[in-house]
């Protein structure tokens, strides 16, 4: 039975213009976010899917023999309307969702899965692709064309094109079920996170919290119509509270809330974890793979599941030994300063870490935040791109964003040519998931000589301005900003004919290189001195303070490395199963992460239920790639250090060989073209100070 919402949407499609379907009158064809309403999505998806199917039919029914142009390129440039509608919808599902959109997604998801299967399991279409593939060596294709053909052919095979008719039906059904389960997982995670708040009305409960954390709590309480101070599980709220609160009981309370999110009750994801990996395993088995990880990494730089574990272990063994020393050293410090428990607990670690960091380096977030006003950081991050790549950013107040907090910039090259629209969304809200990410509303491509430049979006969760202070970043948040901006540059500077090969459309174990290399500038004195000024006094950050930042760069580096590796091991554990775990999801997680434990495990806590990267975010069997990319960037940035951190020749090489190329060539080849050799894990271990640099 059609719901009232569906009926209304269908009526609206007949009686009003749909801004998702009509040509935008805004500069560069920017999305008309000020006109888009929830009721526009369903009719837009319906029309766009019908049009995309018709384009596929036109290819398959073409009486002419299959050619690269009439089949491979025709597929590549088809579905333009559907790409536009789905990019807007799914990006807003992450950045500015609501219950209506979430419910709508449950209707749209099967439609999208059905279309995906309509393409990937289309026998006549695959016959044409296969015919071109078999004669590929005689076609005289250019490098990017051969790359597109290869990815198209393998995409069909890896999406079930060679399965029997019965198995194709099963494959299609499994993918639809996975899609719906992932939607429910995301919905539960966001709802469970938003369901918790710590409201304090006694000022004594704020013991230890610096003024900026108190102001944040007061602002949140005010927004929620509450008295006192309110803290939530969003990163700008949870992180500072557990780091600074002297109230161990309250730290424990918020820690347990954060680490039991979506583990029980109405928003329980524990069984969804199992259901998602079970169906992924079934997909992999159908395609002839032992497990899902084997299926995923076959087409990644790492090459095999065995190589993933070898890589993780190569980093883990020396890192664990160093991390154990770091934790023991911290415990000794805590004990010497009045800590009486037999071991540090999880809710103690951040608090004592901050105390020891301050004692060791005379450095704290409270000291640094006044120097990193968001507006200055924006100018500095954009300015770094101007210095390195000659591009500029001009705010466009007349182009609407999807939320009032979003600012839009026109990015231009050295000659003033338009490169991209850049949407920046910095502040947390209940409609936005936690974390930080870069995405696109439109990618770059060239069709029939007409180039479409990208619409890139950067989304973060930085502390909002309060009644008394502007938005001030921690140094870690500045690093996060640079990281996501690196992804953004990958999209902004994209060049090429085929959108599926440009920008961030690269292997997952390569995509983090452009982002992680940017983090290095956050520790460069020559860069920090350009913009880090106290927001009240205008005082430039001192050389001494910068040196402390540099000295503290590797503070607890081994501990943090082990933590990241533990996530990689957990990801691989979930995706190397050959049968569904019989134990609870919590027990499975504890077993998977046991060897990486540096603190006593906390009963009934787990992270899998909110591990969106691997359950909904495209990093399944790929979380190792963050460390893989760190190895790449440690080696790559050493060239900037050697030639100069603002060296335009090195920057031009990085732009031309990495940022602009996308996946037009094999990623390992692109890296060798830039650096001249393959990287080794030792480069990262040396950078983090875990092993000594060879003399």
pLDDT in tens, 623-632: 999 999 999 9
**What are the residues whose beta carbons fall under 8 Å from the beta carbon of 99, sequence distance 6 or more?**
none
**What are the residues whose beta carbons fall under 8 Å from the beta carbon of 261, sequence distance 6 or more?**
189, 192, 193, 196, 233, 609, 610
Query: What is the domain count for the chain?
Result: 2
Q: Are residues 230 and 150 in the same domain?
A: no
Residues of the chain with pLDDT under 70: 1-16, 693-695
**What are the residues whose beta carbons fall under 8 Å from the beta carbon of 571, sequence distance 6 or more?**
611, 613, 614, 619, 620, 621, 622, 623, 624
Paired with 412 in beta bridges are 392, 418
Q: Are residues 98 and 240 in the same domain?
A: no
What is the value of pTM for the model shown?
A: 0.85
Does residue 202 belong to any structural domain of this protein?
yes
Report pLDDT for 14.
Answer: 46
Q: Are residues 205 and 110 in the same domain?
A: no
Q: Number of H helices and number of E strands within the chain? A: 28, 9
Q: Are residues 114 and 230 in the same domain?
A: no
Q: Which two tokens stand for residue 115?
A: 């279309």
Long-range pairs for 82-86: beta carbons < 8 A, 24 or more residues apart: 82/45, 82/48, 82/49, 82/51, 82/52, 82/115, 83/442, 84/20, 84/31, 84/48, 84/441, 84/442, 85/20, 85/21, 85/41, 85/44, 85/45, 85/48, 86/45, 86/48, 86/112
202: containing domain: 196-260
Q: Are residues 215 and 158 in the same domain?
A: no
Cα(383)–Cα(577) distance, integer angstroms: 47
Report pLDDT for 2.
Answer: 43
484 carries an active-site annotation: yes
Q: Are residues 155 and 236 in the same domain?
A: no
Report pLDDT for 683.
Answer: 85
Catalytic residue among 76, 326, 440, 484: 484
End position of a domain, from candidates 260, 287, 316: 260
End position of a domain, from candidates 110, 142, 162: 162
Q: Are residues 102 and 251 in the same domain?
A: no
Does residue 485 belong to any structural domain of this protein?
no
Paired with 394 in beta bridges are 410
Does residue 223 belong to any structural domain of this protein?
yes
Instruction: Assign residue 110 the CATH number of its domain.
Output: 1.10.1370.40
Length of the chain as a residue count: 695
Report pLDDT for 385.
Answer: 98
Report pLDDT for 10.
Answer: 47
Paired with 423 in beta bridges are 408, 457
Does residue 457 belong to any structural domain of this protein?
no
Report pLDDT for 1.
Answer: 37
Q: Are residues 142 and 238 in the same domain?
A: no
Q: Are residues 154 and 246 in the same domain?
A: no
Q: Are residues 29 and 103 in the same domain?
A: yes
End position of a domain, from candidates 217, 239, 260: 260
3-class secondary-structure state, position 570: helix
Paired with 420 in beta bridges are 411
Does residue 213 belong to any structural domain of this protein?
yes
Q: Are residues 8 and 100 in the same domain?
A: yes
Please calculate the CA angle 68-71-74 and round it to the nearest 5 degrees.
105
Does residue 513 belong to any structural domain of this protein?
no
Q: What is the pLDDT of residues 370-396, one digit of tens each?
A: 999 999 999 999 999 999 999 999 999
Cα(334)–Cα(344) distance, integer angstroms: 9
* Continuous H helices in 497-542: 513-516, 525-528
Q: Are residues 149 and 202 in the same domain?
A: no
Does residue 386 belong to any structural domain of this protein?
no
């Amino acid at each position: 039975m059609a719901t009232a919402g569906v009926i209304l949407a269908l009526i609206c499609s007949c009686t009003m213009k749909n801004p998702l379907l009509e040509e935008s009158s805004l500069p560069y064809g920017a999305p008309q976010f000020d006109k888009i309403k929830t009721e526009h999505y369903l009719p837009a998806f319906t029309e766009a899917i019908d049009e995309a199917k018709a384009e596929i039919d036109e290819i398959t029914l073409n009486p002419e023999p299959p050619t690269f142009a009439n089949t491979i390129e025709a597929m590549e440039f088809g579905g333009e309307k559907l790409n536009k509608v789905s990019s807007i919808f799914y990006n807003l599902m992450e950045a500015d969702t609501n219950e209506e959109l979430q419910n709508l997604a449950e209707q749209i998801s099967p439609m999208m899965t059905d279309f995906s299967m309509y393409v990937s399991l289309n026998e006549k279409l695959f016959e044409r692709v296969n015919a071109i593939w078999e004669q590929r060596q005689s076609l005289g294709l250019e490098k990017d064309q051969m790359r597109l053909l290869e990815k198209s052919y393998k995409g069909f095979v890896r999406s079930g094109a060679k399965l029997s008719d019965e198995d194709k039906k099963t494959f299609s059904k499994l993918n639809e079920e996975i899609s719906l389960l992932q939607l429910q997982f995301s919905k539960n995670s966001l709802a469970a996170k938003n369901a918790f708040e710590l409201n304090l009305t006694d000022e004594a409960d704020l013991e230890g919290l610096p003024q900026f954390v108190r102001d944040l709590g007061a602002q949140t309480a005010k927004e929620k119509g509450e008295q006192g101070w309110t803290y939530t599980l969003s990163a700008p709220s949870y992180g500072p509270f557990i780091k600074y609160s002297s109230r161990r009981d309250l730290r424990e309370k918020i820690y347990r809330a954060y680490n039991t999110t979506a583990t029980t009750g109405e928003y329980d994801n524990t069984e969804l974890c199992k259901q998602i990996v079970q169906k992924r395993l079934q997909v992999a088995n159908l395609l002839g793979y032992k497990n899902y990880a084997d299926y995923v990494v076959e087409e990644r730089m790492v090459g095999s599941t065995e190589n993933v574990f070898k890589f993780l272990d190569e980093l883990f063994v020396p890192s664990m030994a160093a991390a154990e020393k770091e934790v023991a050293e911290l415990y000794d410090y805590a004990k010497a300063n009045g800590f009486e428990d037999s071991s540090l607990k999880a809710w103690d670690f951040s608090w004592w870490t901050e105390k020891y960091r301050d004692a060791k380096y005379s450095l704290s977030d409270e000291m640094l935040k006044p120097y990193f006003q968001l507006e200055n950081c924006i100018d500095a991050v954009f300015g770094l791109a101007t210095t390195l790549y000659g591009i500029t950013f001009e705010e466009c107040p007349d182009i609407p964003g999807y939320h009032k907090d979003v600012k839009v910039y026109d990015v231009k090259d050295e000659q003033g040519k338009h490169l991209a629209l850049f949407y920046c969304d910095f502040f947390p809200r209940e409609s936005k998931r936690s974390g930080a990410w870069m995405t696109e509303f439109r990618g770059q491509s060239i069709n029939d000589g007409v180039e479409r430049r990208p619409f890139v979006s950067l989304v973060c969760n930085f502390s909002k301005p309060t009644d008394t202070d502007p938005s001030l970043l921690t140094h870690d948040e500045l690093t996060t900003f640079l990281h996501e901006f690196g992804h953004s540059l990958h999209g902004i500077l994209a060049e090429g004919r085929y959108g599926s090969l440009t920008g961030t459309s690269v292997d997952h174990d390569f995509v983090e290189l452009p982002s992680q290399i940017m983090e290095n500038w956050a520790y460069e004195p020559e860069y920090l001195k350009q913009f880090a000024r106290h927001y009240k006094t205008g005082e430039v950050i001192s050389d001494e303070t910068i040196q402390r930042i540099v000295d503290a760069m590797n503070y607890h580096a081994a501990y943090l490395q082990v933590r990241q590796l533990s996530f990689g091991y957990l990801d691989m554990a979930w995706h190397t199963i050959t049968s569904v775990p019989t134990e609870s999801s919590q027990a499975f997680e504890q077993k998977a992460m046991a060897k990486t434990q540096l603190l006593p495990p906390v009963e009934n806590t787990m992270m899998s239920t909110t591990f969106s990267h691997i359950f909904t975010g495209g990093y399944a069997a790929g979380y190792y790639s963050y460390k893989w990319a760190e190895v790449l960037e440690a080696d790559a940035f050493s060239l900037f250090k050697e030639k100069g951190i603002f060296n335009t020749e090195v920057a031009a090489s990085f732009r031309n060989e990495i940022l602009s190329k996308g996946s037009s060539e094999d990623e390992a080849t692109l890296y060798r073209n830039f650096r001249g050799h393959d990287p080794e894990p030792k480069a990262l271990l040396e950078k983090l100070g875990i092993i000594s640099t060879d003399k």
